[in-house]
Amino acid sequence: MTENRSVLVSGATGDTGRAAVRESLALGLTVRALVHTADARAQALADQGAEVVVGDFLDPNTLRPAMEGVDAAYLCYPVRPGLIHATVNFAQTAKETGLKALINCSQRSADRESTSPSCRDTHIAEQVLNWSGLPVIHLRPTLFLEWLQYFWVLPKLREGILWMPTGKGTSSPVAAEDQGRAIARLLLDPTDHLGTTIPLSGPAEIDHEQFAAELSEALGREIVHVNPPMDEYAAYLADVGVPPYGVDHIVGAMRDYQNGAMSGADDNIERLTGRRPMTVAEYARPRAALLTGSSRGTAPGSDQAAGR
Ligand SMILES: NC(=O)c1ccc[n+]([C@@H]2O[C@H](COP(=O)([O-])OP(=O)(O)OC[C@H]3O[C@@H](n4cnc5c(N)ncnc54)[C@H](OP(=O)(O)O)[C@@H]3O)[C@@H](O)[C@H]2O)c1
Task: Tell me which architecture the domain covering 146-170+203-263+278-292 has in CATH.
Answer: Alpha-Beta Complex (3.90)
Distance CA 308, CA 299 (A): 17
How many whole angstroms from 248 Cα to the centroid of ligand 1?
16
> Which residues does ligand 1 sit against, CB inside 6 Å?
11, 13-17, 36-37, 55-58, 76-79, 105, 107-108, 118, 122, 141, 143-144, 147, 176, 301, 304-305
Rounded CA separation 289/184 (Å): 29
What is the DSSP-derived secondary structure letter of residue 160?
T
Residue ranges, CATH 3.90.25.10, the chain? 146-170+203-263+278-292
The boundaries of every CATH 3.40.50.720 domain in the chain are 6-144+175-200
Confidence grade of residue 4 (pLDDT, cut at 50, 70, 90):
confident
Q: Which CATH number fits domain 6-144+175-200: 3.40.50.720, 3.90.120.10, 3.40.50.300, 3.40.50.2000?
A: 3.40.50.720
Confidence label for 3 from pLDDT (cuts 50, 70 and 90): low
- What is the reported pTM? 0.96
Q: How far, in Å, from the CA of 80 to the mean position of ligand 1?
A: 8
**183 closest CA partner among 76, 292, 274, 103:** 103
Q: 8 has which bridge partners?
A: 32, 73
Flag whether pLDDT at 305 surpasses 60.
no
pLDDT tens for each residue of 227-246: 999 999 999 999 999 999 99
pLDDT above 90 covers a percentage of the chain that reads 94
79 CA from centroid of ligand 1 (Å): 6
Determine the residue of 105, 124, 143, 280 to mutate for testing ligand 1's pocket, defined as the one with the most ligand atoms within 8 A of the Cβ atom.
105
| Residue 30 CA, ligand 1 centroid: distance in Å | 22
**How many Å lie between the centroid of ligand 1 and the Cα of residue 6?**
22
